[in-house]
Each structure stands twice: as C-alpha cells, then as structure tokens.
Structure 1
C-alpha cells in the first residue's frame, strides 16, 4: 500500500477539476493546496498530489478502491461530465476475478484512471 502518489500535470486547473469532481464519489477532498500543488485524500492517510509541470510525464494507470459499485458508477459519470474520455464503462471484469467491478477513463494528461470495487453486489 502506498502513502501518497505525486505527479506533474500539464494543465493544473483542468487536472484539479477532473480529479476533484471524478473522485468526489469516493470522498476525496482537498487536504491542502499551495504553491507546490494540491493534495487530495479521502481518509487523511493516503493522498494524491498534483503539481504543474512543463515536463511530459509518462502515462500512469491510477486505480482507486470503491466501497461499492454505486461509487464506481458515480465516478464514471462525474469524470465524463468534466471532459474525461471513456476507456471502459462500469461493469464486471471477470477475467480479473468474479467480483471485479470497475470503470476506466482517460484524464486530461492521458492517464488511465480506474475506480474498482472488489465486493459482490449488495
């Protein structure tokens, strides 16, 4: 398990809007924001940090845990509303395991962002 993930983005405002809105269903909120960027967290322990950069970072695959399938669905809707591209709508991915329910989008910098629930429905 990680403590935090930090990466640069090419459009800070667009990325801030994207991650705040699309991860809101998971409870992600701004923990702090300053000249070094923004830190988001849902539990105050694990955080996602973004900062403006001119460097072209390699594309990432970021996967966030959802407590239920409704959070996965809400993430997908919210991400598309703020301009993300669909990269796999909400649904079961039984080739991973029987209860792997996930959705994927491509964010502002081309990162593949996933939200997954490993629990059975109900």
Structure 2
C-alpha cells in the first residue's frame, strides 16, 4: 500500500498539462486513466494497453482549481514519484527538459539523504516541483 491516497496538482492550461504529463509520466510507467471536465488522472500501468481502474487511489490528478483562481506551487512543497530504475529517472528528466520543464536538479545520487537516493527535480509549467526518485541500489 502506498503512503499516499492521491496527489493533486493545480494547473492553468489543462490541455498543455495533459500533453506534458502523458509524455513524462510514461517514463515512470504511469498512464492516464481518467479525463474529464477540468481534470485528468494518472496511475501505474499494469500491462501493455491495460491501466489501473480509475478508483482514485494511488493516483496523481492534475486539475484546474475549483475556486477559479490561478494555480501555483508553494516553495518547499514537492511531489516525489517513485520508480525502481535509475534509467527511468534519467529518461523522465530528459523528456521533462525537452518539453520545456525547468530543472531544479539533474539526475544523480543525493547521499545526504541516503546512499541509494537517486533523483531529479523539475518544475512544470505552473510552478509545481516534481521529484522522480529511485531508492534501489543499482
């Protein structure tokens, strides 16, 4: 069981954000399972062409804020997405940068956190800081 039920990220341009997250989350083995008026949901890809049921559990959601105000991230807040492969971290980072995300830290070991903490940090179009991390020894 995951420590998170779900995570939501506020976005200002849903179409552009879906385009971005469809591509970069695929590098971590995640696929879009739901799309609706003002939102999209993502979760683990279980098998080729078969994705999780859209239960909302263990999901990442992007959405336009329900209060109608501009979406923004907070300094010091980030969302860490986990994978078991350092190669996936490298691929995720490359796709993010190619698609216009801002680097907040290229892929590499952060031994100040722990000996196997391999991660990268990006900021999406709306200022949300996303971390991709592998905790596995490689």
Provide the secondary structure at the position in 2 that maps to 1:116: strand
Provide the secondary structure at the position in 2 that maps to 1:42: strand
Q: Distance in 2 between matches of 1:72 and 1:93?
A: 13
Q: Distance in 2 between matches of 1:49 and 1:104?
A: 19
1:107–1:73 CA distance, 2 compared to 1 (3 A):
same
Cα RMSD between the aligned structures? 1.5
Structure 2, unaligned runs of 5 or more: 46-51
CA drift of 1:11 comes to 1.1
Alignment-derived partner of residue 51 in structure 1 = 63
Match of 2:36 among 34, 37, 54: 34
Structure 1, unaligned runs of 5 or more: none
What does 1:92-111 correspond to in 2, within 5 Å? 92-111=109-128
- Which structure: greater helix fraction? 1
TM-score calculated relative to the size of structure 1? 0.90
CA deviation map 1:68-98 (0-9, x unaligned): 1001001001111111011100000000001
Between the two proteins, the alignment pairs up a number of residues equal to 121
4+ long deviations beyond 6 Å: none
Aligned 8 A contact 1:8 1:55 in 2? no
CA drift of 1:3 comes to 1.6
Aligned 8 A contact 2:117 2:135 in 1? yes
